[in-house]
Each structure stands twice: as structure tokens, then as C-alpha cells.
Structure 1
Amino acid sequence: MGGLACALALLGIPCAAGGEEAPAGGRLFYGQVALIGQLYVHNRPLGAEYVRCVNCHRLQDQARAEGRFGPDLGAKFLTEPSARRGGPERAYTEQSFCEMLRTGKDPTAILISTDMPRYRLSAAECRALWLFLQEH
């Protein structure tokens, strides 16, 4: 399986050093592990190919990518206090990040864009994604 993951690196999906698979959070971010998500105004899940994080976001430490309209994700964006749309400052914790992914509300209870899917993630999946993003 490690060879397959590294073959995906040719498509811009990284693998770990030594030909091993990327960490669990990275596999979720890049869509190597399917996520279940649906848009705020719909009652059916979208196909896994439509809800990959990398479709709309890039990591803060990556080169600029075309076609990304969501914020760049990483430790700085998530954990440093910042105001959004003139509202109160927000900073995510692991718990508030996971809650936002599930409900669409940021730590200040402001609704995020309805273009972003709401996800059905286990606690372990969300923790893996959080830890992966903290490395960037």
C-alpha cells in the first residue's frame, strides 16, 4: 500500500519519507481516506471526491495553488486569535475545530460559509486531521 500512496505523490498527494503512507490526518486532508460530508442546505451526503479538504484548502507551508478558495490551513491560522468579517476574535482548539467541522459554527458561534461541507467524523479522525494541520 505504501507504493500506491507514493505513486499518488506524482499527483501532488504526498507520502511519508521512506515510501510509507502519509499520516492519518494527511490521508484525510488529501482524500486518500474518504470523508462523509454534506452541504448545509442539503440532506444527502456528497460524493467523497467533492468533500476532500484539498479541493478548497492548501496547507500554510505549501506553495500557492490554483483554484483554492478556502483559507490556507495550519497551526497559525487555526490557533492564533484573529477576527473574521469584523466579528470577534476566534482561535480554534481541537474541540472547537471538530465542532466546526460537524456543525459549521466557529468558536465564536459564527456560521462558516455554507459552501463548506459539514462532516461526519469520528473523534479519532478529527484528532488525526487536527494534529496533521498543526504540523503546517
Structure 2
Amino acid sequence: MCEQPRGGDAVSSPNGRFVAVGTVAFDLQRRHGACLEAGESRKADVFVRSITDDGIAYGELAAGPGGDPGAAEVDLSAGDGTPRALPEGTRVPEWALRDTGVFLTPHPVNGLLISVLKHT
């Protein structure tokens, strides 16, 4: 049960309708919240990293057995906050701008790779 947000920075959708902190997310227009912590219905915490204007929250699952976190998306506009696991190796955007995702990838030699993907 989410009594206090766990982990992560506060994020919001570009239009400000959806906000999240760690494992807690809100749809401010509908006045509805979702707890994304592990429990009876889910095996791992979902830590929200970014949210689109449509209410799709992208996050990382708590580290799995290999220590590598998985990725998930949650449709906050649908209401139930049920995460959908994304394929292994999927990177979630650091920022969700209008129809655009911004991804950061650490590079062992050249520092940081910044990628921008426009949704068409």
C-alpha cells in the first residue's frame, strides 16, 4: 500500500495533467491516484521516469534476479494503474515531450548519448 512515495524524482506530463513521484502516480483531472508498489497483484515496484500527455507513464521495474531492471508502461488515463511489461532491453524515455521522447544512454568512452525520438 502506498502511504508515501518511494524513490525517484517528481515528474509530470508536458500538459501538467499527470504527475508521479517514484511509485505513486496521479491523474489530476480525474482526481485519481495509482499505487505502483509490489503487492498481491504485481511482483515488482514500478518507478515512474516520464509521462506523456495521454497519460502513458514509463518506468523501470525493481531490479530483477540478474540485477538488470526491466521496463514497463502504465496507462494512467485508464484508471486501474496496471503496468504492462515492455520487451527486455527496452529503454524508457527520461523526458516525454509533446510527441517526442528524450533518451539518455551512458557511453563508456564518450560520456552520454542523448537521443530524441519523434512519435509519428
Task: Give the alignment's TM-score, normalised by structure 1.
Answer: 0.24
Q: Which has the higher helix share?
A: 1
Q: Which has the higher strand share?
A: 2
Task: Give the alignment's TM-score, normalised by structure 2.
Answer: 0.26
* Structure with higher RCO (Cα < 8 A, 6+ apart): 1
Q: Which has the larger radius of gyration?
A: 1
